[in-house]
Amino acid sequence: MAEKSYEEEHPTKAFGWAARDQSGVLSPFKFSRRSTGEKDVRFKVLYCGICHSDLHMAKNEWGTSMYPLVPGHEIVGEVTEVGSKVEKFKVGDKVGVGCMVGSCRSCDSCNNHLENYCPKMILTYSTKYHDGTTTYGGYSDSMVTDEHFVVRIPDNLPLDAAAPLLCAGITVYSPLRFFNLDKPGMHVGVVGLGGLGHVAVKFAKAMGVKVTVISTSPKKKQEALEHLGADSFLVSRDQDEMQAAMGTMDGVIDTVSAMHPILPLISLLKTQGKLVLVGAPEKPLELPVFPLIMGRKIVGGSCIGGMKETQEMIDFAAKNNITADIEVISMDYVNTAMERLLKTDVRYRFVIDIGNTMKI
């Protein structure tokens, strides 16, 4: 008789890496996942992307962290068990979980497929679940999630490079759709060429939009134009370049999470143009009102997307061969990766190979 694996012997036991305090240093951590409920999907985690918010949360920089904290909300893997009332998934399916694992399912937002704006949205990690337990993220060997918050990963998408789409991808896809910046021939600016920005360029180009990358770094010009396929590039510190581009864009997606002036970005917009912020600077930005009034311009925000739209985004990515540009790392490299992420020394997303390198 074959020897049982650790998972088979301990069906609710899980193994991951957790931060214990505000140092943010991660180390091995044993914990329990709930038993698979009737609407739950249990899956073996194969890959998990490292999002910049994982770094903020590990160090409690937003003041909401609960320790021990297992980060990770760009999670993909293979289904190992489904509950008796699960309808959409079966054992062996390739699936993913993004930034949320629960919501009230009854408010206006939830009824309109906008679970991401539910006041009772439950984050994938460091939040209390319906049963009072703490949620743990994808830097772990397994996940148990209500099927409503699980997405199917199409077969033609490589799992490792698809993982970051569950946060970075939907964060930029949703505003392009909602603010109607997805029409062929439109001109959209993308501010910042990092984890969010590089997939924003890919999605916008696939929608038929003319894309200009706006960056403080002239070094990124060749990458933006030749590798990512942007149509043009602006150095935001070059006043002549910015002046020449004034009033030329239908919209701007601003992915930058550092403090930066937004007046120059508003100036790039056409009349009735839209500046959409998806990066989250820690301090308030200064908002000049006159340029908005004089051009009937809009400054808005957007946060990930609902589950219906997240599945739509993944399917669109599969149809158009859109993936994140990644550097795959082993689990024990995670602390070094966090240090590099702090210095923006990654092109453009770290993805942890959980399936092959998570050791119990």
Q: What is the pLDDT of residue 217?
A: 92
> Does 236 lie in the same domain as 150?
no
Q: What is the pTM of this model?
A: 0.94
User: Domain residues for 252?
Assistant: 168-301
Is 347 inside any structural domain? yes
> Does 209 lie in the same domain as 235?
yes
Q: Is 47 helix (H, G, I), strand (E, B) or coil?
A: strand
> Does 214 lie in the same domain as 132?
no
Q: Give pLDDT < 70 ranges for the chain.
A: 1-11
| Sequence letter at residue 47 | Y
Is 5 inside any structural domain? no
Tokens 């408010």 belong to residue: 107
Cα 302 to Cα 3, 11, 81, 174, 276, distances in angstroms: 50, 38, 34, 7, 7
User: Count of domains in the chain?
Assistant: 2
> Does 116 lie in the same domain as 236?
no
> Does 174 lie in the same domain as 162?
no
> Does 273 lie in the same domain as 146?
no
> Does 193 lie in the same domain as 66?
no
> Does 124 lie in the same domain as 257?
no
Instruction: Please say which residue of 286, 301, 316 terminates a domain.
Output: 301
> Does 334 lie in the same domain as 220?
no
Q: Which CATH number does the domain housing residue 155 bear?
A: 3.90.180.10
Which residue in 181, 140, 142 sits closest to 34, CA to CA?
142
Q: What is the pLDDT of residue 258?
A: 87
Is 317 inside any structural domain? no
Is 294 inside any structural domain? yes
Is 310 inside any structural domain? no
Residue 351 exposed, middle or buried by CB count within 10 Å (0-12, 13-18, 19+) = buried
Write out the DSSP string of 136-186.
Answer: --SSBSEEEEEGGG-EEPPTTS-HHHHGGGGTHHHHHHHHHHHTT--STT-
Q: What is the pLDDT of residue 280?
A: 84
User: What is Dmax (Cα atoms) for the chain?
Assistant: 77
Q: Is 239 helix (H, G, I), strand (E, B) or coil?
A: helix
> Does 142 lie in the same domain as 20?
yes
Is 358 inside any structural domain? no
Q: What is the pLDDT of residue 359?
A: 83
> Does 23 lie in the same domain as 126?
yes
Cα 33 to Cα 40, 137, 141, 336, distances in angstroms: 12, 11, 10, 27
